[in-house]
Structure formats: structure tokens, C-alpha cells
């Protein structure tokens, strides 16, 4: 787009936003704001600003439009405009404001019963915070997962749960990762997705081993065998890992980790598996018989 066209779009945006401001303001002759007219003007302004690459102005116009739809009690349109405002804030590197807009969008999507979009907005916010505020990012992920669980949107939960698990592993928050795997496994079992369940179980065993908890890894393996895990490629891979650890055999561990089965796991689990090392003697099978401390 030429600079002349961009300038024209900017002027169009300024004029449209001014019209929106006028219509949304009470006057002596207009006792209440004309929100229907205002949102149309703000939508036009936002589009013009976006085309002119004036993202900060577009952000403001989308926000004003969202407020207008709030006043009109049209939740879905309010959500869409807060989402658009978030994207413009993100484009302008204003991540904190983008997070706020994503959260507002989520709230209005929930009000409209658009639960999948509501969760998506929270995950979008989490992604902006994962390297700066891990605690808040985890909180947002938890809120998103709760939406799926509460509203029984099991078929749409996969992406969110996988992101949350990968984030926990990336943060080396292994206890949280195990808890999330347990939580997600409930959904996967309900959906009868055995292949995904097998991958989750192998992932859990890898995480236990990374935590240095051979007992928990072995206990989990034994418990999973009664849930369709037995006979799977993932179960075989897990058995080879555990055998290598029990025999204190680094070479066997590397051979086990070289199997193709591991390449089908989520990316953070793959990266984690490559860091597994045998550093000492492991608890024997006999000792495991009297131990019940493992996280399954």
C-alpha cells in the first residue's frame, strides 16, 4: 500500500472515530448515547486504521467498539472487538494490555456460551506471559482447562491441555506436569482415545525419571498396564527405559531413547527425554513391592 493510500486511510479512520465519539456522547439534544451508530463508526475507524498500519489507533477504536457492544448487551460482538483490540496491542508490543483484552474477550465469549473461544483467549494471553510471568501463565491455562471440564467440551480440550503440559515441562515444573497429565487423562479416557492415552502415560514416566523418582516411574508403569497401556509401542518403550535404569546401563538408555516411538510425543517431552541420564543405582523391583509413594 502506497504512503498516499495509507494517509487516506488514516484520515478516514480519524473522521470515523470522531463520528463515533460524537454519537457515544450525551448532549442537550441527545439524552443518551447512540451506541448503534457509534459501533458502526468505530468499526469503520478500526478497519481504516488497521489498513493504514496504525495499530495503536486501531486498538483504541476496537476497544471503543467493544464498549459500545457492551452497552448494547451484545456479548459476542463485544468479545470479537476485545479480541481484535488484543491483537492490535500484541502487534504494537503492548503485551500487558493485550493480556487484559484477551481476558475481557474470554469473559464475553463465556457470557455468549462460546466456551471454546473463551478458553482460546486465555491460552493466547498465557502465551504472551509464559516467559515473563510463569505463575500468571499457569493460572490462565488452568482457567482455560476448567472451562472445558466444567462445560464438558472434551472434544475441544486437547490443544489447551497439551499446551499447559508442555509449558509446565518447559518451566521444569514437573509436579505440575504430572498433575496436568492426570487431569487430561480423565478426558482422554472418556473420549476412548487410547493412542493419545498411551503417549500421556509414556510422557508421565519420562517426567518421573527426569525428577529422579524411579519408584514413581515404575509404580506408574505397573498401574497403567491395567488401562489399555499393555502391548502398546509406548509401553514397550517405557519398559526399556525402566530396564536401563534398573540395570544402571547408560548405553541401554540411549538405545531405548533412539526408538521412533519417542518422536511422536509432544515437543517438550521429546526434548526432556533427550536429557535423561543414569546417575546411580536405582531402586530394585523387590523394594518397589513395599513402596507406595509413586505418583500414578
For residue 136, pLDDT beyond 50: yes
Q: What is the DSSP letter of 282?
A: P
Question: Is 117 a residue whose pLDDT tops 60?
Answer: yes
Q: What's the DSSP call for residue 281?
A: P
Please name the residues in contact with 166: beta carbons below 8 A apart, sequence gap of 6 or more: 266, 267, 268, 269
Confidence of residue 284 (pLDDT cuts 50, 70, 90): very low
Percent of the chain scoring above 90 in pLDDT: 87
SS3 284: coil
End-to-end CA distance of the chain: 58
The overall average pLDDT reported for the chain is 92
Contacts with 208 (C-beta within 8 Å, 6 or more apart), sequence order: 178, 214, 216, 217, 220, 294, 295
CA–CA separation, 218 vs 286, rounded Å?
A: 12
Question: What span, in angstroms and rounded, lies between the C-alpha atoms of 247 and 242?
Answer: 9
**Within a 10 A sphere around the Cβ of 211, how many other Cβ atoms?**
16
Does the reported pTM lie above 0.85?
Answer: yes
Q: What is the pLDDT of residue 30?
A: 67
Measure Cα distances from 97 to 5, 47, 106, 131 in Å: 29, 20, 14, 16
Tell me: pLDDT of 258 over 90. Answer: yes
- Residue 242's pLDDT is 97
Predicted pLDDT of residue 226: 82
Band of residue 208 on the pLDDT scale cut at 50, 70, 90: very high
**Residue range 35-46: average pLDDT?**
97
**Of the candidates 39, 46, 48, the residue with the CA atom closest to the CA atom of residue 78:** 39
Taking the C-alpha atoms of residue 183 and residue 256, their distance in angstroms, rounded to an integer, is: 28
How deeply is 252 buried, as exposed, middle or buried, from its count of CB atoms within 10 A (0-12, 13-18, 19+)? middle
CA distances from 271 to 35, 157, 262, 274 (A): 52, 23, 10, 5
Q: Do 130 and 104 contact (CB within 8 A), yes or no?
A: no
pLDDT at residue 281 is higher than 70 = no
Question: Has residue 283 got a pLDDT over 60?
Answer: no
Q: Could you name the CATH architecture of 1-112?
A: Alpha Horseshoe (1.25)
Q: What is the mean pLDDT of residues 134-144?
A: 96
pLDDT of residue 287: 47
Q: What is the DSSP letter of 228?
A: T
pLDDT tens per residue, range 68-114 = 999 999 999 999 999 999 999 999 999 999 999 999 999 999 999 99
Mean pLDDT of 120-136: 96
142-189 confidence digits (pLDDT tens): 999 999 999 989 999 999 999 999 999 999 999 999 999 999 999 999
Amino acid at each position: 500500500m502506497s504512503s498516499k493510500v495509507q494517509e487516506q486511510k488514516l484520515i478516514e479512520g480519524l473522521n470515523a472515530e470522531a463520528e463515533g465519539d460524537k454519537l457515544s456522547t450525551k448532549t442537550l439534544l441527545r439524552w443518551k448515547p447512540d451506541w448503534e451508530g457509534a459501533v458502526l463508526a468505530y468499526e469503520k475507524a478500526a478497519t481504516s486504521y488497521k489498513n493504514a498500519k496504525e495499530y495503536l489507533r486501531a486498538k483504541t477504536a476496537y476497544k471503543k467498539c467493544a464498549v459500545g457492544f457492551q452497552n448494547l448487551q451484545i456479548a459476542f460482538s463485544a468479545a470479537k472487538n476485545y479480541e481484535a483490540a488484543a491483537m492490535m496491542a500484541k502487534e504494537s508490543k503492548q503485551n500487558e494490555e493485550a493480556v487484559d483484552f484477551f481476558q475481557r474477550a474470554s469473559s464475553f465469549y463465556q457470557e455468549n456460551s462460546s466456551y471454546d473461544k473463551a478458553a482460546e483467549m486465555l491460552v493466547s494471553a498465557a502465551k504472551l506471559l509464559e516467559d515473563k510471568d510463569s505463575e500468571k501463565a499457569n493460572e490462565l491455562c488452568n482457567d482455560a482447562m476448567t472451562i472445558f471440564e466444567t462445560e464438558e467440551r472434551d472434544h475441544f480440550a486437547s490443544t489447551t491441555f497439551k499446551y499447559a503440559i508442555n509449558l509446565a515441562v518447559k518451566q521444569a515444573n514437573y509436579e505440575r506436569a504430572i498433575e496436568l497429565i492426570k487431569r487430561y487423562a480423565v478426558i482422554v479416557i472418556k473420549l476412548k482415545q487410547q493412542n493419545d492415552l498411551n503417549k500421556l502415560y509414556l510422557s508421565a514416566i519420562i517426567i518421573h525419571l527426569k525428577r529422579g523418582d524411579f519408584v514413581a516411574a515404575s509404580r506408574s508403569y505397573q498401574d497403567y498396564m491395567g488401562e489399555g497401556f499393555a502391548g502398546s509401542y509406548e509401553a514397550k518403550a517405557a519398559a526399556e527405559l525402566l530396564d536401563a535404569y534398573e540395570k544402571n546401563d547408560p548405553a541401554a538408555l540411549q538405545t531405548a531413547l533412539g526408538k521412533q516411538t519417542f518422536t511422536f510425543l509432544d515437543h517438550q517431552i521429546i526434548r526432556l527425554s533427550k536429557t535423561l541420564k543414569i546417575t546411580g543405582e536405582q531402586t530394585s523391583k523387590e523394594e518397589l513391592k513395599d513402596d507406595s509413594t509413586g505418583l500414578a
